[in-house]
Structure 1
């Protein structure tokens, strides 16, 4: 079997997903291709999806701005993706499109590989900054893995509240604005920056300052271009351990590849190789 895989989104010409999945194909000994299939927001989404249907794809990834928009066009959706309200992976099975979300799984796997002791303590205090699709996936993954203190900060409290509503456990999550996040950032063991603030070409910006994080805490930024954001630089200078965003990209791709092929391909040294590629950009 030859796998026909790809990515839809906009803009995605810079994406490293083709490199990652070509590595997985080679490591698994499977034949296939992974293509960029950019869809402009100015194009008819229905027309472009019709073209994809005719391509005979084995599966594809979905990124911004289509993670929610794709849902009505699916033939089925995994319960995790349905709960999160966003899809980043589509599996084509018997001609039907089935939606999944591997963002949260990818993030948690990356974090656990880097900081296993931190992830073994379900009582750590966690703050997620931002309330977009990635934040939803990460929050849902943390809650379902048993973490009981996960708070959310965002410019608009309503968006953060909609994420907190995913929590069906006995422990509720605090929701606050960015000013409160700044004032309380030193009280957390893990801070996860999920917004696009600080991404190229606006590298110098931060959504809140990380200068007051607790020494010995872990600070994570899911942005990977640049790989070492200003937010991470501030955290490192404050004595925190830092966690790069490219690892989430890698492990969510690993989970997607497994859904398509039923093969869990070891990442091996791809973490370091991907970091080298990003540092050279």
Structure 2
């Protein structure tokens, strides 16, 4: 690791909760691999406005944004990328000489693992209506998938559904659906609530493709149930690494080795896969 000094560039992730995040692990390793004098930290602010003031005050060069700030942070940026603007959520901030620009790498990361799947014409159920759901919905819609939205807050869910002319279903009503693809974009099933099943098993058949954005634990209850039904599954680490690699490229101009990023997480002693 490069020693930290007064010239070390600072990067961070802003989220609450954020203690589970593996972003510091993979970004710090990538900085070391490419001999970049930088350090990446995790912060859990209660007030996103004050956090963004700190980003400016301390000249933090790049920021990952996660739950619950992906939509709220937009008000405190100087510029926003066209795709992030269309999505209505930001997960990446680049600080260039004090100008804070917002981007969204989640949409690309959600679609990348599905590149071998013919999304067009497929029925895709998105669980959630937050920042990650917005990014996933944007990507699925762009690839002409037929969207279904479910969410605990019906107002938020209906608003996202209306944005893409999709059908909304209350969560208690989805067990009768048989979508081709199910994508959980919520924190349901994440440690310490790993016993929560984000989608009824009734929705799953052996033909269903199931994707979960949760990666702690790697084998969520949804992923486990899907495997038992013979579904094709995409774990949360796949999307997480894809969006992180795209972030690193925005900050440094370097696309890191995603296979090494995954290996770094899976072999770390603190990572729990059960």
If the TM-score is normalised by the length of the shorter chain, which range does it land in? 0.7 to 0.9
For structure 2, the 5+ residue unaligned runs are: 1-6
4+ residue runs of structure 1 moved beyond 4 angstroms?
Answer: none
Mapping 1:1-281, distance limit 5 Å: 3-41=9-47, 45-109=48-112, 111-112=113-114, 116-118=115-117, 120-144=118-142, 146-167=143-164, 172-184=165-177, 187-277=178-268, 278-279=271-272
Change (3 A) 1:206 1:4: same
Judging changes above 3 Å, is the alpha-carbon distance between structure 1 residues 23 and 166 closer, same or farther for their aligned structure 2 residues?
farther
Secondary structure at 1:108 match in 2: helix
Displacement of 1:254? 0.8
Q: CA deviation at 1:211?
A: 4.4
Partners of 1:280 and 1:143 in 2: CA distance: 32
Structure 2 distance, partners of 1:255, 1:237, is: 32
TM-score, normalising length: structure 1: 0.86
Distance 2:122 2:111 in 1: 14
Within 1, Cα distance between the matches of 2:232 and 2:139? 21
The whole-number CA distance in structure 2 between the counterparts of 1:78 and 1:156 is 28
- Give the match for residue 3 of structure 2: none
Cα RMSD of the aligned pairs, angstroms, is 2.2
**TM-fit CA distance, 1:73:** 1.3
Paired residues of 1:246 and 1:275 also in contact (CA < 8 A): no
Deviations, residues 21-65 of structure 1 (Å, cap 9, x unaligned): 123223434331112233234xxx444433321212221112222
Secondary structure at the aligned position of 1:165 is classed as helix
- Contact 2:189/2:221 (8 A) holds in 1: yes
Distance 2:250 2:14 in 1: 17
The CA deviation string for residues 134-182 of structure 1, in whole angstroms up to 9 with x for no partner, is 11111112222x2331211223433222223333xxxx42221123311
SS of the residue 2:14 aligns to: strand
Task: Return the offset for 1:212.
Answer: 4.2
1:149/1:173 contact within 8 Å kept = yes
Cα deviations across residues 181-207 of structure 1 (Å, max 9, x unaligned)? Answer: 1111xx222111122222222211123
| 1:52–1:122 distance in 2 versus 1, CA, 3 Å | same
What stretches of structure 1 of length at least 5 have no aligned partner?
A: none
Q: Report the alpha carbon displacement of residue 262 of structure 1 after superposing the two structures with TM.
A: 1.8
Contact 1:211 1:237 in 2 (8 A): no
Aligned residues: 266
Task: Give 3-state SS (helix, strand or coil) of 1:126's partner.
Answer: strand
Cα offset, 1:237, TM superposition: 1.1
Structure-1 separation of matches of 2:140 and 2:240: 17
